[in-house]
Amino acid sequence: MYVNSAYWHNTLLDFKDKKHPLFVGSCGTYHLYTKPRMPTHRPRGRLDFQLLYIASGKAHFFFNGVEEIVTAGHMVIYYPKEEQKYCYYGTDQTEVYWVHFTGNNVKNIMRQYGIADSAHVIYTGTSLEYKRIFIQMIQELQMCRENYEEFLVILLRQIFIMIQRQVGNRPKAKNSYLESEIETATRYFNEHYNTAISIEDYAASRGMSTSWFIRSFKDFTGSTPMQYILSIRMSSAQNLLETTDYNMTEISSIVGYENPLYFSRLFKKQNGVSPSEFRKQLRNKINE
Extended strands (E) in the chain: 2-7, 23-31, 37-42, 49-56, 58-63, 66-71, 74-78, 84-89, 95-102, 121-123
**For residue range 83-109, what is the model confidence (pLDDT) as tens digits?**
999 999 988 888 899 999 999 999 999
Structural domain for 227, as ranges = 177-287
β-strands 23-31, 84-89 pairing = unpaired
pLDDT at 11: 83
pLDDT at 223: 83
pLDDT at 110 over 50: yes
Q: Which of 111, 137, 169 is the C-terminal boundary of a domain? A: 169
Domain count, the chain: 2
CA geometry: angle 263, 182, 77, nearest 5 deg: 90
**Percent of the chain scoring above 70 in pLDDT:** 95
pLDDT at 174: 47
Is residue 181 located within the same domain as residue 147? no
Q: Which DSSP helix (H) or strand (E) runs through 271? A: helix 260-271
Q: Of 51, 42, 161, give the one whose Cα is nearest residue 99.
A: 51
Q: Would you call 173 helix, strand, or coil by DSSP?
A: coil
Q: What mean pLDDT comes out for the span 123-127?
A: 81
Q: What is the CATH number of the domain that holds 155?
A: 2.60.120.280
Is residue 139 located within the same domain as residue 233? no
Annotate 33-49 with b (16+ C-beta within 10 A) or e (fewer).
beeeebeeeeeebbebb
pLDDT at 123: 86
Distance in angstroms (rounded) separating the CA atoms of residues 21 and 68? 31
222 vs 287 pLDDT, higher one: 222
Is residue 23 located within the same domain as residue 161? yes
pLDDT at 3 over 60: yes
Is residue 149 located within the same domain as residue 220? no
Distance in angstroms (rounded) separating the CA atoms of residues 286 and 288? 6
Is residue 197 located within the same domain as residue 136? no
pLDDT at 133: 93
pLDDT at 283 over 80: no
pTM over 0.85? The answer is no
Rg (CA), the chain: 19
Distance in angstroms (rounded) separating the CA atoms of residues 228 and 235? 11
